[in-house]
Structure 1
Amino acid sequence: MKYLLMVGHGQFPPGLHNALTMFASDTPDLLYCNLENGMDTDKYVENLKKKLEVIDPQKDEIIILSDLPGGSPLTNAIAVLGDMGILEHCVIYTGMNLPLAINVVMTKDSTTLDKLDELVLADTQAKRFVLETDEDDEI
């Protein structure tokens, strides 16, 4: 099975998980773990290990979304996954956001981890919208 694991600071991972379930049903392959304000990393690692108990290192794959590339949630997740012997079956994307999470969920089961980049990254770039009014700017 391919799992999506969202890791990050504060309420971002559970909030993103909640928003994601509005677009995709809440299934057992959607996991998150958050490092809360004031939480020490030992507690975070303990929570993460509990979440990862469903993973079979021999046959499962994990797509990891993280808020920051060098943050404690991700670096600790990498260490735990390395200890589990599954890190070689993982891909990591940082700069986690809702469009990225939706793209991963919608495409993860129809492709390999190697080809996931081309399917999910194209639509997740920042977009700028220019808003114009119809009103004349009269002074």
Structure 2
Amino acid sequence: MNYLILVSHGQFSVGLKDALEMFVGDGIKTVKAIGLQSGEDTDHFENRFRSLLSTLEQNSELLILGDIIGGSPLTTVVNVLNQENRLESTIVLGGMNFPMALNATILKDSASKDDLISSVLREGASALKQFEINDDPEDDDEI
């Protein structure tokens, strides 16, 4: 079984998982979320992540999406995975956003490792754009 683990500062990962539930239904069972809370030290966060990790199948593959590469939450998670010899079966990506998480949830069980990485990163990047209102009445879809 493959798991997606959302890692963030604060409640971002929990909120993102909540939003994913609206789109993926039962697929959410293999999505986990954990965030370093305000005022929480990294040792406590590490213990909470170890606890979460212990609930997952030992031979499972993991896809970790973190909010910031180099941030304390993601660094702590990677250190634990390294100590538990789980990095070889783990993909770690940073800069997570909703399109990345949705794409990862849908593809994590079917795409090859390389295709998963490129698809998730491409989806996350392509979602970044400025919203513009088009005032051209000829572009209206109404008939």
TM-score by length of 2: 0.86
Q: Secondary structure at the match of 2:64?
A: strand
Percent identity between the two aligned chains: 38
| Aligned-CA RMSD value | 1.7
SS where residue 64 of structure 1 aligns? strand
Aligned residues: 134
**Dislocated runs of 4+, deviation >6 Å:** none
Matches within 5 A, 1:7-86: 7-25=7-25, 27-57=28-58, 59-86=59-86
Alignment partner, residue 118 of structure 2: 118
Spell out, residue by residue over 1:11-49, the C-alpha distance to the aligned partner (whole angstroms, 9 max, x if none). 101111111111112533111111000011111011111
Q: Runs of 5+ in structure 1 lacking a partner?
A: none
Aligned-partner Cα distance in 2 for 1:76–1:121: 22
Please, which runs of 5 or more residues in structure 2 have no aligned partner?
Answer: 138-143
Aligned to 1:132: 134
Q: TM-score, normalised by structure 1?
A: 0.88
Instruction: Name the structure with the higher helix share.
Output: 2
